[in-house]
Amino acid sequence: MKVAVLIRVYDRIQDLACNLQIIADTWKSNDYYVIVVSNGKHQGYTVPDDCLKYIDKLITLEDNAGHRKGNSQLLMEGAKFIPNDCDFTLILEADTWVFTDKIHCKYISLLSQSHNAVWASADWYDKYYALATDFALIKSDYLRNNPKIFDFELFPECHISNYLKSSDSGFIWITEFMPVHIPSYVRPAYPYVPNIKEKRFYVFPKAMAVTHHIEFLKNGLKQKREYFNIVSDFDYFCDTKVKYKKWQRFKMRFWINLSKYLPKRSWYSKKVYKKI
């Protein structure tokens, strides 16, 4: 099957280079058409020449719509270049690294079997219906017929959910990327939540994925590579070999699973659609 991969990037050029290499080396089950759309040129963030061999279509935007609108700008522009023979599109942040395409195949199959569901991604918020946009699989025809699904400014995850509801379309949660957040009342540091203000996990051993912002890591890109080797159970990055990977994955899973037992709003209140 041919699948479009729409990768958006602003300043995370190092992440992009690693991500493209991982895709080329480990995503083998489908024919992937890689689209990279960048809006960081005006700040000096250009896609390196050595990345071009992994990219089927590079789109460089001269202007940046700004932090709030920039993500929307990248997605809306990139979606214009999804080939007609791609039945599915994977939207991906440059800093979201996934080892192999096993998870892609699972959710492509589930979406193919559903008459109503057009989108698959993680549940982003506990209070609101909100669908993650850092890794999401979508039926391409839906994107072609609904380009405004990416026309957002604030709360993109909530906008996506609201838009699907308004078009009477369904979604599937990618549980391997859940939970994303710990409850908001957790104040001290929590393992594998490097930025307590965002209260997000950045390691997902079930998905064999890492999504770190490297500025949150003490050893930056080196530590992110180590985490990737751990979740993949493979020394993909040979220069950052990690010992006791099984034990490290156990700790990740322990703290992620423990967070599910922390009291949260969904225990006593149903999700709602956020008014934006």
**In three state form, how does the secondary structure of 31-67 look?**
EEEEEEEECCHHHCCCCCHHHHHHCCEEEECCCCCCH
**Phi, psi (deg, nearest 5) at residue 9:** -150, 140
**250 is written with which tokens?**
């156990």
Candidates 72, 213, 261; CA nearest to 151 is 72
The pLDDT assigned to 87 comes to 97
> CA 234 to CA 34: how far, in whole Å?
24
User: In degrees rounded to 5, what are phi and psi of residue 189?
Assistant: -60, 145
- Give dist(CA 37, CA 266) in Å, integer: 36
Q: Distance (Å, rounded) from C-alpha 26 to C-alpha 16?
A: 15
pLDDT for residue 45: 86
DSSP character for 91?
A: E
Tokens of 92: 């991906």
Buried b (16+ CB within 10 A) or exposed e, 210-240: bbbbbebbeeebebbbbbbbbbbeebbbeeb
C-alpha 120/C-alpha 111 separation (Å) is 8
Residue with tokens 């759309």: 37
Cβ atoms within 10 A of the Cβ of 100, count? Answer: 16
Which residues sit opposite 204 in a β-bridge?
209
pLDDT of residue 238: 93
Cα 182–chain centre separation: 18
pLDDT at 69: 86
Give all domains of the chain, ordered by start, each with its CATH number.
Answer: 2-175 (3.90.550.10)
C-alpha 74/C-alpha 64 separation (Å) is 9
> Is 252 within 8 Å of 201 (Cβ atoms)?
no
> Is-contact 16 7, C-beta < 8 A?
yes
Which of 112, 135, 110, 111 has its CA nearest to residue 123? 135
List per-residue pLDDT tens for the chain, 276 residues long: 999 999 999 999 999 999 999 999 999 999 999 999 999 888 888 999 999 999 999 999 987 777 678 899 999 999 999 999 999 999 999 999 999 999 999 999 999 999 999 999 999 999 999 999 999 999 999 999 999 999 999 899 999 999 999 999 999 999 999 999 999 999 888 999 998 889 999 999 999 999 999 998 999 999 999 999 999 999 999 998 899 999 999 999 999 999 999 999 888 899 999 998
Contact 66, 90 (CB under 8 A): no
Q: Are the C-beta atoms of residues 158 and 128 closer than 8 Å to each other?
A: yes
Residue length, the chain? 276
The pLDDT, as a whole number, for residue 67 is 65
**Percent helix, strand and coil across the chain, each rounded to 5?**
40, 20, 40
Residues contacting 52, CB < 8 A, separation 6+: 58
